[in-house]
């Protein structure tokens, strides 16, 4: 089942709203059971249940976060999306704990059977806090 461009966009809008409400179940609803997720560190998780388990702690302990959409490119034919975003959340960087941190990144998203089958996340290695650019502590 291939999604039309309009349907992909609609699903991404619903997905963003779920992130905004910190509703993990709604976020997970768009993922394929066989999701492959790779985060910005190169760590990866396979499977919807494993991903939900991994994200539960983040959702529960970093409740004051939000993703802002900067740009979306949708390839309807290939069922792929490039999604450029900004994450705003309380920093965990030493000396800047709980100050607003701004992190920029991009997701490469592949759809299969109307669901996200691959989500590959890339982010800059610097964040902005108090109008300063700081390198992430990796």
What pTM value is reported for the model?
A: 0.91
For residue range 45-85, list pLDDT tens digits in order.
999 999 999 999 888 887 689 999 999 999 999 999 999 99
Dist CA 7 CA 111 (whole Å): 12
Query: In this predicted structure, what is the pLDDT of residue 63?
Result: 67
Q: Of 55, 70, 130, 131, whose CA–CA distance to 105 is shortest?
A: 70
CATH class for the domain made up of 5-135: alpha beta
Show me where the domains of the chain are located.
5-135
């Amino acid at each position: 089942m291939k999604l039309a461009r309009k349907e992909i966009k609609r699903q991404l809008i619903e997905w963003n709203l779920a992130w905004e409400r910190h509703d993990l179940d709604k976020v997970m609803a768009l993922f394929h059971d066989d999701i492959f997720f790779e985060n910005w560190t190169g760590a990866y998780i396979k499977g919807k249940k494993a991903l939900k388990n991994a994200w539960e702690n983040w959702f529960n302990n970093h409740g004051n976060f939000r993703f802002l959409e900067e740009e979306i490119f949708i390839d309807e034919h290939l069922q792929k999306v490039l999604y450029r975003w900004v994450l705003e959340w309380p920093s965990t960087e030493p000396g800047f704990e709980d100050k607003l941190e701004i992190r920029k990144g991009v997701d490469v998203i592949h759809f299969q059977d109307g669901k996200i089958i691959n989500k590959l996340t890339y982010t800059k290695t610097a964040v902005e806090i108090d109008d300063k650019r700081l390198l992430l502590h990796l």
